[in-house]
Structure 1
Amino acid sequence: MNNEFLLLMTTCPDEASAKSLAHALVKKKLAACVQISSAITSVYEWQAEVCEETEFCLHIKCLTVHYPAIEAAVLQLHPYDVPELIALPVTQGLPAYFDWIKETTQP
């Protein structure tokens, strides 16, 4: 696959912000699909405190070439000061699914 595809992960503090971000990425053709999980519990350290919050996880399927634009959109639209954005290269998968990602994310 030559690292042509990425699976990005981020979290949002509520379902409304998760849906808003997901819709923006798909409408801009930056992502072919964004899956939003049910509520999860995240435990993390922030500003020297251990925090526990409910969040919604987003899995973003996209082309590597769109990462910079997705990062910019996440920074602009996300309610957190420092949002999670982790990119995992996708090296194998169903070729027809990869074709769909390519077709769906064309301007």
Structure 2
Amino acid sequence: MAAPNPDVVVVTTTFDAESKARTLAAAVVRERLAACAQVYPVQSVYRWADEVQESPEWRVDFKTRADLATRLTGFITGHHDYDTPEVVAVPVVTGSSAYLAWVAAETTP
């Protein structure tokens, strides 16, 4: 494992349909705002409209450079149909040197 590297983050969002999640994932990678995206089903429990809601969603995790997180957040919110989409970035504490270098190489400088 490499030393701690705050230069890479995982940015997460969710959608109510797999097709929407996959479409955004492809657009983000095509724009080189992330090196890759993982799309998978989750079951979400949350408070909305003053009630506890539960619904199936599709989560997308984007691997990108920390300096692209703000641009990626804007891209996600600009292409999202939720009133208040989840968009959070979590720093990568450590990882393989080769993988972290690949993330940096595959994203827009």
TM range (shorter): over 0.9
Q: Is the 8 A contact 2:65 2:103 kept in 1?
A: yes
Instruction: Normalising by structure 1, report the TM-score.
Output: 0.93
1:15 paired to 2:7: no
Q: Is the 8 A contact 2:5 2:94 kept in 1?
A: no
Kindly tell me the number of residue pairs found equivalent between the two proteins.
106
Unaligned runs of 5+ in 2: none
Unaligned runs of 5+ in 1: none
Output one character per residue of 1:7-41: Cα deviation in whole Å (capped at 9) or x when no partner. 1111111001101110111011000010001x221
Instruction: Normalising by structure 2, report the TM-score.
Output: 0.91
2:67 aligned residue: 65
Structure 1 letter corresponding to 2:28:
L
Percent identity (aligned) = 35
2:28 aligned residue: 25
- Find the aligned partners of 1:68 and 1:106 in 2 and give their Cα distance: 13
- Partner-residue secondary structure (3-state), 2:56: strand
Question: 1:95 aligned to 97, 100, 104, which one?
Answer: 97
1:52 to partner: Cα distance? 1.2
Which runs of 4 or more aligned residues in structure 1 lie more than 4 Å from their structure 2 counterparts after TM superposition? none
Question: 1:48 aligned to 40, 47, 50, which one?
Answer: 50
CA RMSD of the aligned region, Å?
Answer: 1.2
